[in-house]
Amino acid sequence: MFDIKICGIKTLADAQAAVDAGADAIGLNFYEDSRRFVSTGDAAELAKTLPDDVTKVGVFVNAAAERMNEIAASVGLDAIQLHGDEPPALLGELNKKIKIVRAKRWNEQGFEILANDLRACLEIGGRRPDAVLVDATVTGQFGGTGSTLPWAELKDYSGWLGDTPLVLAGGLSPENVAEAIRIVRPDGVDVASGVESSPGIKDHRKIQAFIEAARKAFSELG
């Protein structure tokens, strides 16, 4: 679906910086309690400036399917990222032309709970997500916390997830993304706080450094 996603983009300048640096996906956050929230109107204007080959991902937290479908159509989203505690049945209510990224927070149950969730999505919702995004668990928060994951525990994910791509998130930064990629060997990486000067404010030099480090690490994996 994508290799490198810069999430929590709020401004045209930040979007352009990400695209110029080589990001192939942009995350637009529609969770109103987030410091990275962007309105539907602003997101639509921002999305118009993005090249067709940059994936536009809408990030939602426990939103109704109808609302997500409406925003996806209005903004022109390519994918919906479910970053809350959405039930498996909800996947079947989303527009089938839009890809789904199912975000899950890592805990002591490991990949078993993720594999069970994938089965439930297919059996109950009639639809398997196009990718699973693994983020850190921080009580009361839904991502963008800067907390890292135990990467060594994630490296055997294909045995649990099969051919469902894994997107690695959780505390990634220009300094550690290469190591994370080498250990986990994910299909893609996602960053928000790791390329910011303050919550919701992107640092363009960090974006450039992050993407360069990630691209080099992916290239070395072949």
Q: 79-82 and 55-60: which strand pairing?
A: parallel
* Tokens at 70, concatenated: 């409406």
Q: How far apart are alpha carbons 194 and 173 in whole angstroms?
A: 4
Report which of 167, 217, 222, 166 is spatially closest to residue 190, judged by C-alpha positions: 167
* Tokens at 160, concatenated: 């649990």
Q: How far is CA 164 from CA 97, 147, 217, in A?
A: 18, 24, 21
Catalytic residues: 7, 135
Alpha helices in the chain (DSSP H): 12-21, 40-48, 65-75, 111-124, 158-161, 177-184, 204-221
Q: How far is CA 108 from CA 21, 137, 154, 182, 191, in A?
A: 36, 10, 12, 22, 23
Q: How far apart are alpha carbons 83 and 77 in whole angstroms?
A: 16
Distance of CA 59 to the CA centre of its chain: 8
